[in-house]
Structure 1
Amino acid sequence: MSRRVLLQEGMRLLRPFRRLILLAAACGAAAGLATVALLATVNRALNQPEGLASGLFGAFLGLCAMTLVGRAVSDILTNRVGQRLVAQVRTALGRKILEAPIAALERYRSHRLLPVLTKDVDMISDIAFLLASLLIASAVTLGCFIYLAWLSLPMFLLLLVSLGLGSIIQYRARARAIRGFRAARDSEDTLHKAYRAISEGAKELRINRRRRAMVFGGQIEATIDRIRAINEGAIRNFVLANTVGSALLFLVIGLLLAWQLLFPAPDQAVLSGFVLVLLFVKGPMDQIIAAIPSLGRAQIAFGRIAELSAGFVTPEPGVTTDRPVPPDRQIDSLALRGLRYAYPASKGSTPFTLGPIDLTIRRGEIVFIVGDNGSGKTTLIKLLLGLYVPTEGEVLLDGRPVTDLDRDDYRQLFTTVFADYHLFEELAEDADGLAERAGPYLERLEIAHKVTVENGAFSTTDLSTGQRKRLALVQAYLERRPIVVFDEWAADQDPTFRRIFYTELLPELRSQGRTLIVISHDDRYFDIADRVVRLDAGRVQAEEVAVAKDPAP
């Protein structure tokens, strides 16, 4: 991402806090100028017989108070801006992720998404605490330079030559370090992906020693060593550059002390003041230089945040976090007409295309969608649910096309248990009477001894895979939505619960007037369905009427 885009994004984020920033800058600058004036006062006191006379002593106390108060106020205001900025970034990213199209989220991948939301945002938070001290250090440094130029212009020019050489070294070191930090940050994504692999694949790694050693040595250990080496090299460049800069500053002080041998001796107060201020200003300068690595990392982090923000810059129409939930309703039919969906082309492979598909599902039907892996079943379900926007064709609800503006309202008709489902502890229904409604289902699915509903939430979701899916089924019962979609629900169940699901639970849901769409490979239960839709290579290969059933009430 270009520096111009980063600057524009930074200005946009900081715009709500411009008054606080200006006030913090003014207080920091006042503290810096008071510090410089305090140095001048001390220099005068050291070079006059009466020392801190009554007038100088009052000025000394006033300048001390101004320095301390200015620093404190600047710190408080800057930290307030930093914390509010971080809160704003976190809120904005959370909102953008919730409102982003599902296809865009799936392309971004969680191992790239999570480090931005955690490590990069935390880096912005950390740098916020440095801003106040950097602001004051910069003001002190600038004020000291102005005071040094006022004391002696020739000596100040000698100082500028020294600092110019040091700045060239610093610039080159910083450029190399920034490249290193960027490479290290890219490796952080790789490391996060490896950590996720050893967490989710712990069982497989435990029974395969060779793979375990390969993952640890080739991915985790190698990536960690690469990050360590890159960061060590980048910091080493900064340290060496700082050392050279300090050496040049001490060289200037040595030359000033030997000034009398080269030029007519200046006033003693000028020379002592120059050396005193140089020794003092080295502290603020070192503080600025020491913060450069953190600023470099913050620049990389901010770039990643801006990249993520730009990736989700186009929210899905009608998807907001504060939009009211539409009232409950029943449906008569759900139809697909000429529906087609093409995945984005990837390098070196032909993208999968689903359709065109024509399909009508009526209220109270049980429709099984079957087919081999890769035939397009999950893609079809995502189109039915309105999670994907069709490339061509349309979805009709009771004969009316579903548009971009009402697609999110359309989704509220569905309850879904995906194959890769996420089970939330909190239930999204009204808590009144929820425990009583959930109890019979928990008993029937034999998980009441482990789970209860308390204060509108499940007491735990720490269950086996099969039990968690049964709990997701309880959630589907409680939501009472007119269309229920199951994606391989029975795949993780034992034969008893598989039989109960197909022969008891599905007919029971159907008797409540619900429409059921089931992805299944259990051909022994296909006769439960009203229709079986077979997919092959993204097309409807066959649509079979299974067994005639009484119409739904």
Structure 2
Amino acid sequence: MKLLDFFNKESRAPKRQIIFTALISGLANGYLLTIINNAAETVNKSEALQISNFFLFLIDLILLIYTKQYSLKQATVAAEDAINRVRIRVADKLRATELPYIETAGHAKIYASITQDTSLISESAIILINACQQMIVVCICLLYIAYLSIPGFIITVSVLSVSVLMYLYNSKHISAQLHNVANKESEFFNGIKSILVGFKEIKINKKKNDALFTHIETIAKDAKEIKVAAGLNFVIELMFAQTSFYILCASIIFVLPVLSATQIDQVVGITIAILFLFGPLSMVVSAFPMFVRANVAVENIYQLEHEIDQSSKTQQPQLPDAPVFETLEFEQVSFHYPQQSEGTPFGVGPLSFKINKGETLFIVGGNGSGKSTLLKLLAGLYYPLSGDIYINDRLLESDDYAHYRELYSTIFTDFHLFDRLYGIEDVDVRRVEELLKTMGLSKKTNFKNQGFTNTDLSTGQKKRLAYIASVLEDKQIYIFDEWAADQDPEFRQYFYEVLLKDLKAKGKTVIAVSHDDRYFFAADKVIKIEYGRIID
């Protein structure tokens, strides 16, 4: 089973001890059947034997409680250890993967695997150990039935085998249904994300609001129908399992005496064993849906990890120091997005230009012209499909990208404002306070414990706070994607006439997307791009 392979591969817990104590627990549980049957046969026959059976019962019960408790506790530890290792590993791989994968994979799918699927696996650990223990009890009961009557054993095994085979056959269909449910859940989460992220837009547009809700409602309905179908199959399997037990009891009572010379004590003993068998086997059967779901969850996690591995091209550098920047040159560089539907896929290029250290470059163009794509190529977030990039007159290879990216500090239009200054050591608190005052944020937020006390700001204020973090990173090249677009006239002018000049004076290279043609004098070069190509 994939779930067992998962725990064996991912957990560092003492698996042999867990298995050994689970085995002892199962044997102790099964031995209770023998003690109870022996005690029942000696009622009113021998007081000494009854006392002996009573003490055996107590000793066996204590052993059962201790071993079962130990195995279940250790199983919980093993499950959480495995989940923690996988979550950390996936998170580590996520930070090393490439931007195109993050853009196309969908956040909902990643969130679902790391949260829902791992939680389901965690919940299955105790059920798995308990089911294994109960399987041992089932085996002991079958051996006891074989001891009492071989024909009875054959009848019992035959009925149970047919039932289990039919159960397993139907479980394949249930597993496929659960895979479809997982996909629908990801779509549903994407819909909820659209409500949260696009709340302002849908709040002022009832038609858009209703259409989005209808889409989410359709997805939820489809997911419900698949879940109901899977649940009904589980119910059918559960009822079939219970019916099989009744058929088995009837076969022992009515059929076995006809097929072989069986004494009443044997029939009673076998019937008691089957009744004793009913509880453990019911637990195993009822746990099977959890195993199926957990197996699907394991497949989802490993599939996500495989996709991340496939999309990763570079490794994190051991020394993240960037090269000393002098020149950057694009030579016939082209990039195209994967084609999602009919028509020509959007892209940029071929692009050829050169940037020197200390220059300020403005990129202008209409919406959809390819400016943001060009910035991602410049920052090394996209790989060119053709053409060459030269850094300091040296060809940039794919293995160089992790090193090359360290040149940049970026503020994209869809930037994320971190609440802490990650990666910046020995922060000068006085300088941060001065920057907050300069950017008009000292009354909005403060710097404390390596982070900002408040990030719930307007878009323009968030960009100013992001600028402070960017400056503190002290990188060689700065990318600003329409940074001034959300600023008031005062800060817009301050950005072009003061901030950019300060960066230039410090020898920094600035690449900015701008629509403010009245401030083009602040740039050393201006590139105009339309339909993915430089036209001026």
Short-chain TM bin: over 0.9
Distance 1:67 1:149 in 2: 24
Name the counterpart of 1:390.
384
Alpha-carbon distance, 1:299 to partner: 2.1
Gaps of at least 5 residues in structure 2 are none
Name the counterpart of 2:59.
62
Name the counterpart of 1:109.
106
Name the counterpart of 1:100.
97
- 1:112-511 map, 5 Å: 112-216=109-213, 218-258=214-254, 262=258, 266-314=262-310, 316=312, 318-320=314-316, 323-326=318-321, 330-428=324-422, 430=424, 432-511=426-505
Per-residue CA shift, 1:482-506, capped at 9, x if unaligned?
1110011122222222222112211
Amino acid at match of 1:453: F
Distance 1:16 1:123 in 2: 16
Alpha-carbon distance, 1:152 to partner: 1.1
Q: Which stretch has the larger CA shift, 198-207 or 261-270?
A: 261-270
Distance 1:512 1:372 in 2: 31
TM, length-normalised to structure 1: 0.90
Distance 2:248 2:6 in 1: 43
Per-residue CA shift, 1:338-393, capped at 9, x if unaligned?
32223333342322332222211111111001112222212221121111222223
SS at match of 1:367: strand
Q: Which stretch has the larger CA shift, 422-431 or 193-202?
A: 422-431
Name the counterpart of 1:24.
18
Alpha-carbon distance, 1:331 to partner: 2.3
Alpha-carbon distance, 1:419 to partner: 0.8
User: Contact (CA 8 Å) 1:79, 1:132: kept in 2 or not?
Assistant: no
SS at match of 2:472: helix
User: Contact (CA 8 Å) 1:452, 1:458: kept in 2 or not?
Assistant: yes
TM, length-normalised to structure 2: 0.93
User: Contact (CA 8 Å) 1:333, 1:397: kept in 2 or not?
Assistant: yes
Q: Which stretch has the larger CA shift, 220-229 or 261-270?
A: 261-270
SS at match of 2:8: helix
Alpha-carbon distance, 1:57 to partner: 3.7
Name the counterpart of 1:41.
35
Gap change, CA 1:433 and 1:102, over 3 Å in 2 = closer
Gap change, CA 1:263 and 1:380, over 3 Å in 2 = closer
Alpha-carbon distance, 1:517 to partner: 0.3
Alpha-carbon distance, 1:399 to partner: 1.9
Q: Which stretch has the larger CA shift, 415-424 or 149-158?
A: 149-158
SS at match of 2:382: coil
Gap change, CA 1:433 and 1:168, over 3 Å in 2 = closer
Gap change, CA 1:79 and 1:304, over 3 Å in 2 = same
Q: What's the % identity of the aligned pairs?
A: 29
Q: Which stretch has the larger CA shift, 339-348 or 84-93?
A: 339-348
Aligned pair partner of 2:526 in 529, 532, 536:
532
Distance 1:66 1:269 in 2: 29
Amino acid at match of 1:531: K
User: Contact (CA 8 Å) 2:13, 2:78: kept in 1 or not?
Assistant: no
Alpha-carbon distance, 1:436 to partner: 0.9
Per-residue CA shift, 1:395-453, capped at 9, x if unaligned?
22222223333321221111100111011111135454532111222112211101111
Distance 2:6 2:439 in 1: 53
Distance 2:434 2:395 in 1: 39
User: Contact (CA 8 Å) 1:431, 1:455: kept in 2 or not?
Assistant: no
Name the counterpart of 1:72.
69
SS at match of 1:405: helix
User: Contact (CA 8 Å) 1:36, 1:147: kept in 2 or not?
Assistant: no
Number of corresponding residues: 533
Distance 1:165 1:16 in 2: 35
RMSD: 2.4
Distance 1:284 1:147 in 2: 15
